[in-house]
A and B are shown apart, each in its own frame.
Chain A
Amino acid sequence: MTLTVVPDSSLLPDLSKVSQVDEVGVNERAARFQTRSIKKESKIEALHMILSMIDLTTLEGQDTSGKVSQLCQKAIHLHNTLPNLPHVAAVCVYPTMVGVAKKALGDHKINVASVATAFPSGMAPRHIKLEETRLAVEEGADEIDMVISRGAFLQGEYGLVFDEIAAVKEACGEAHLKVILETGELGTLDRVRRASVLAMHAGADFIKTSTGKIQPAATLPVTLVMLQAIRDYFYDTGRMVGMKPAGGISTAKLAVHYLVMLRETLGNAWMTPEWYRFGASSLANDVLMQLQKQATGVYQSADYFSKD
């Protein structure tokens, strides 16, 4: 979705009016999703959905074009012995690897997502962040995963954070913008909620929990608070914003419970890769093992699934 007007911080809502969050209540609700028992055909359907929502990710200092190419092969060929598997939604890499990924993925309908804006710390001048964003897009990135300036946010400089997101959004052009809040550095669920509201008003297409470099990364309670912020924004504006929990979701079982939470918070419209992603590197193989188990009835070993 492209905005015709670049929002500026005069459009920033009064964050002090954003609904408070009670941590214990959120934890209780999140725990309830985990009591859902997802079996049989609903489990297989969920596992396929999860695969299709994965942003297969490598964000290491040691990344090479070889590593990225292999990851792209994995994205295309998740597990060829299982028929009718979906492909993942995207491959997520650093800007310098966008070209490599683009080439490796060829005509496959798998997006290339690139982190940008001095990922993961975001500690760089704005013009450099914008330049990096434009470069990634020029290299062919379909999606940009930016980080917010947490320091500025914690200092209460909401206008600055807002303008930065809006500027990056403009720099993205046609590329979709995911805004990483790095919830592990925000400290409270109240701040997570406010940052979510801020990012959506500034033009985010997606909001995302974490870089994966900070603990805690995605959790069910944090994700729930962000989903509720998305719902309230939708109630108010009619605009759908996507959600991407990232980091720490490595088992199929946990990912299924994220889907349960999504379904019971935002409903069916969000249950597609267009509106929901998992940022993960090892989740795919656990999902594949579960699918193989469902197909064969036999519990699986990691040795039989390719690691790239």
Chain B
Amino acid sequence: MVTSSARIPVEKTYKIYIDGKFPRTESGRYFALKDGAGAVVANICRGSRKDFRNSVVAARKAFAGWSATSAYLRGQILYRIAEMLEGRQDQFVAELVLQGRSKRSAQKEVLASIDRLIYYAGWSDKYQQIFSAVNPVSSSHFNFSVLEATGIVAILAPDDDGLIGLVSNIAPAIVGGNTCVVLASETMPLCAVSFAEVLHASDVPGGVVNILTGFKDELTDQFASHMDVNAVVYADHASAGKIQTKAADNLKRVVARTDNKWTAESAQSPYLISDTQEVKTTWHPIGS
């Protein structure tokens, strides 16, 4: 019985994020995310291989534009993501708490996530200067090596850190001009969907980041085998063999990020950016 004075809270529908839109999974499937007491927290989309395929199409479409975006602008957009997250701290803390974190730990993770975005925003126009080189070749040529985004990065986000694990892997990929498709933590998916909403509000072009929720067992093979994915990032020892085997189909770059304590400062580094970059070397004669 509803009393006239009580307001019914509006509950959030958690959807996936593909090509800058928030569809439900095309499969129509879901799984129930439960709290420690076994109560249903939310119904989560159980993303399918077709969702993944659609995400890769979106990521490929977005790649040309995003990889050509100026470093300055990419930095500003990452900074903007941090700003948006800063303003929505309470929501993320609440979601982490819903997923079993203490409030204190949740607050720490959210702040670390914001700071991580700022950290990588700052690298946008600097990593190139750290990792590039002018090579003093013996012939009459100017020769230089620069980094370029490797393309589409498929990210299997860490299980245990629903927000910071996600942010710490998306940020270095996109700050370097890659686009990505991410499978959110299966056990802590809420923040991933909310983070997609933050991205959506932060001038990140559609398709640059695509976030799916679903079952790792079902989707790991897809992430590792898709022929239009250029790199695959994973955090889970158990998947290593399977991922590398499938990745060989098109010689994907395989990046293992196991054993990271994601909230620690040591988990951030420009080498995480260079992991998903290609070195391109250009030659040109010096003459008249």
The answer to whether A and B touch directly, with their CB atoms under 8 angstroms apart, is yes
Bound Cα distance from A288 to B279, whole angstroms: 57
**Is A188 interfacial (CB 8 A cutoff)?**
yes
Residues of B within 8 Å of A25, CB to CB, are: 285, 287
Residues of B within 8 Å of A188, CB to CB, are: 288
Bound Cα distance from A27 to B139, whole angstroms: 11
**Is A23 interfacial (CB 8 A cutoff)?**
yes
- Give 1 or 0 for each of B252-288: 1 = CB within 8 Å of chain A CB: 0000000000000000000000000000000001111
Supplied contacts A22-B285, A23-B287, 4 more A-B pairs, CB within 8 Å: A22-B287, A24-B140, A188-B288, A189-B288
Interface residues on A, range: under 10
User: Min CB distance, B139 to chain A, in Å?
Assistant: 8
Bound Cα distance from A24 to B285, whole angstroms: 6
**Is B141 interfacial (CB 8 A cutoff)?**
yes
Q: Total interface residues on B, using CB and 8 Å? A: 6
User: Min CB distance, A212 to chain B, in Å?
Assistant: 24
Bound Cα distance from A27 to B285, whole angstroms: 11
Nearest-neighbor residue (CB-CB) of A189 within chain B: B288
Interface of A is mostly: helix
Nearest-neighbor residue (CB-CB) of B286 within chain A: A24
Residues of A within 8 Å of B140, CB to CB, are: 24, 27
- Give 1 or 0 for each of A21-32: 1 = CB within 8 Å of chain B CB: 011110100000
- Give 1 or 0 for each of A187-216: 1 = CB within 8 Å of chain B CB: 011000000000000000000000000000
User: Min CB distance, A28 to chain B, in Å?
Assistant: 9
Residues of A within 8 Å of B141, CB to CB, are: 24
Residues of B within 8 Å of A24, CB to CB, are: 140-141, 285-287
- Give 1 or 0 for each of A106-142: 1 = CB within 8 Å of chain B CB: 0000000000000000000000000000000000000
Report, nearest first, the 5 A-B pairs whose CB atoms are least far apart: A23-B287, A24-B285, A24-B287, A24-B140, A23-B288
Bound Cα distance from A98 to B140, whole angstroms: 46
Nearest-neighbor residue (CB-CB) of B140 within chain A: A24
Give the one of A24, A27, A188 with max B CB within 10 A.
A24
Bound Cα distance from A188 to B287, whole angstroms: 10
User: Min CB distance, B34 to chain A, in Å?
Assistant: 69
Bound Cα distance from A27 to B286, whole angstroms: 12
Bound Cα distance from A46 to B285, whole angstroms: 34
Bound Cα distance from A199 to B228, whole angstroms: 56
Bound Cα distance from A25 to B283, whole angstroms: 13
List, sorted by A's number, 11 A–B pairs whose CB atoms are closer than 8 Å.
A22-B285, A23-B287, A24-B141, A24-B285, A24-B286, A24-B287, A25-B285, A25-B287, A27-B140, A27-B287, A189-B288
- Give 1 or 0 for each of B107-141: 1 = CB within 8 Å of chain A CB: 00000000000000000000000000000000011
User: Min CB distance, B161 to chain A, in Å?
Assistant: 54
User: Min CB distance, B152 to chain A, in Å?
Assistant: 37
Bound Cα distance from A23 to B288, whole angstroms: 6
